[in-house]
Amino acid sequence: MPKRKPASRAPGLSNWLLPAALAALALAVYANGISNGFIGDDKIQLLKNPLVTDPANIPRLLRSSVWSILGIPGNYYRPFQFLLYLLIYQCAGFSAPAFHLFMLLLHAANTVLLYLLMLRLAEQRIALAAAALFAVHPIHTEAVDWVAALPDLALTTLVLAGVLWFFRQDAAPRGLRILGHAVIYLLALLTKETGVVLLPLYAGFGFFCAGRRWQEFRRNAALYAAMAVAFAVYLAMRFTALGSLAPGQQAFFHLGPVAFLLSASVTAAQYLAALLWPANLNYFHVFHPTGSVTPAFLLSALALAALAAAFLRARAVLVVYGIFWVAVTLAPALNLTGVGQNVFAERYLYLPSAAFCWIAAYAWNWLAQRRPAFANFALAAVLLACGAETVARNFDWRDDFTLLEVTLRQSPTSGWLHNSMAGVLIERNRFGQALAEERLAVAYEPRSPVFRRNLGNILLAKDPPAAIAEFEKLVEIEPQRPQDHCELALAFAAAGDHGQAAAEYRRGNGACGGDDTPH
């Protein structure tokens, strides 16, 4: 087990003052986000979710997916997220500032946990630089400012706490401590699917940091067996709640093996670039699959090869384990066919960024030993620039309209964004603008039944013939869905064609309800 050299310091200074200062820094750069409202998924997963308002619903909560309230299949089983929502609701109701404050406190806690972990792996100056960069890194704004991203923050808390506790036990827990790690692993899995990475992070710590190599797996066989049991318990709970392991997989992108490999390589390089240069932050990155060997793929492959070479050649344990950490924690986000429509999401970098920050701090320390004045100035400039960008980005998360307005300037060809903006404009009684946005949504994604349906419903009151045209296209897109005939019948009735309306009601095969006649 590598031992750090104790740094000289004032008695007791680092015991509380430095961690408190780091926590204060993390809170300071996000303080202007406390007054933000609920955004997007918050309104479904939280405000419209009866499971998070009554403790009596906990048994049902444990058997529900994230999207069960909508009655649709999904891959996300995260009951710990809803349990935390329930806890906050019991304390403050649906108070947006209370939820945002909780997110900020988690971010501050993660900053301190990273500092404490680094204190045991490196010099204090490296620990300070790593934690300070983590506190202000702009790539975290999506995870910290968006209440729906609570799983990313909570998972990072569990992972950092687990690895720190593992270290304090000389990476060889025994007895009831093994049970404690199994519980942490189960909580991590129930927080987010990415929690599966905790076991390989433990193994990697023993392999690289403790220097045990392959003996690690025999040394901690009991621990990994207990964590495997926890994983089996999680799978059973997940299967009970979802009906299968990943029922929503077919709803996302369908990529062949070659396109998947090429696209995953490009996406991985994009994630690394976002850590290095967090500019032009974007809530919705439009995904363009890579189907052939393009210049973007070649550059991505070169960057990934350089990272692999650094991993194989680096002698510093901190760098080797850091690259391992980034690779392991980023791997789940590269399941491009299962993560959802927003394939590249900045919140997925919250956990990987912990290792990026300590690698960056290690590089800074190397420079500081050679050119201290320049290195200190560079660190101060980076922290100041990152803090300023984070503070500015917090304002973009004020409300749905502000965020979508900013994001549409960055991703104007996303039908999903235009559809979302149309919904926000309808809430504000700006129907003319909503109609224009929904037309753009359909223009960019003409095969989307949701967008066609929404456009038809907007047109229904003002232009029934145009609504008829949209619902007819909807029937063509979804010929097996009888409910579409019901909506087409409503459009015909609004246009005064009751004969056609009655015919469409009959084609609805009873899905319309009532007596299948237009009203």
| Residue pLDDT, tens place only, 109-122 | 999 999 999 999 99
Name the residue with tokens 């100056």.
125
pLDDT of residue 6: 41
Q: How far apart are CA 484 and CA 477, in angstroms?
A: 10
Task: Decide if 22 contacts 112 (C-beta within 8 A).
Answer: yes
- Which of 246, 244, 230, 223 lies closest to 196, judged by CA? 230
Identity of residue 31: A
| pTM as predicted | 0.92
Tokens 């384990």 belong to residue: 321
The b/e string for 353-362 (b: 16+ C-beta within 10 A; e otherwise) is: bbbbbbbbbb
What is the rounded CA–CA span in Å between residue 378 and residue 365? Answer: 11
| Total residue length of the chain | 519
To which H or E segment does residue 356 belong? Answer: helix 352-368
Asked if 333 contacts 135 with a C-beta cutoff of 8 angstroms, the reply is no
At 232, the amino acid letter reads A
> Buried b / exposed e across 441-473, counting CB within 10 Å, b at 16+?
bbebbeebeebbbbbbbbbbeebbebbbbbbbb
Q: Which residue has the tokens 């680092």?
A: 14
SS3 338: coil
pLDDT tens over the chain, length 519 residues: 554 444 444 445 558 899 999 999 999 999 999 999 999 999 999 999 999 999 999 999 999 999 888 877 678 999 999 999 999 999 999 999 999 999 999 999 999 999 999 999 999 999 999 999 999 999 999 999 999 999 999 999 999 999 999 999 999 999 999 999 999 999 999 999 999 999 999 999 999 999 999 999 999 999 999 999 999 999 999 999 988 887 665 556 678 899 999 999 999 999 999 999 999 999 999 998 999 999 999 999 999 999 999 999 999 999 999 999 999 999 999 988 766 778 899 999 999 999 999 999 999 999 999 999 999 999 999 999 999 999 999 999 999 999 999 999 999 999 999 999 999 999 999 999 999 999 999 999 999 999 999 999 999 988 999 999 999 999 999 888 888 899 899 999 999 999 998 888 888 877 786 544 444
CA-based nearest residue to 37, from 432, 386, 426, 424: 424
pLDDT of residue 516: 45
Supply the pLDDT for residue 337: 77
Task: Answer for the pair 485, 505: CB distance below 8 angstroms, yes or no.
Answer: yes
Backbone angles phi, psi at 239, to 5 degrees: -65, -40
Per residue in 22-40, is it b (16+ CB within 10 Å) or e — as a string?
bbebbbbbbeebbebbbbb
CA–CA separation, 146 and 143 (whole Å)? 6
Tokens encoding 223 = 């621990």
User: Domains along the chain?
Assistant: 13-245+256-279+289-396 (no CATH), 402-507 (1.25.40.10)
- Judge whether 386 and 134 are in contact, CB under 8 Å: no
Q: Which residues contact 53 (CB under 8 A, 6 or more apart)?
A: 86, 89
Element (H, E) at 393: helix 372-396
At 8 the three-state DSSP class reads coil
Spatial distance between the Cα atoms of 424 and 372, rounded to a whole number of angstroms: 52
Angle at 94 between CA 91 and CA 95, to 5 degrees: 80
Give per-residue pLDDT as tens, 192-220.
999 999 999 999 999 999 999 999 999 99
What three-state secondary structure class fits 434? helix
Token pair of 247 as six digits: 């029922």
How far apart, in Å, are the Cα atoms of 151 and each of 27, 281, 324, 508? 19, 20, 22, 41
Radius of gyration of the chain (CA): 26
Residue 212 CA to residue 311 CA, distance in Å, equals 18
pLDDT of residue 304: 97
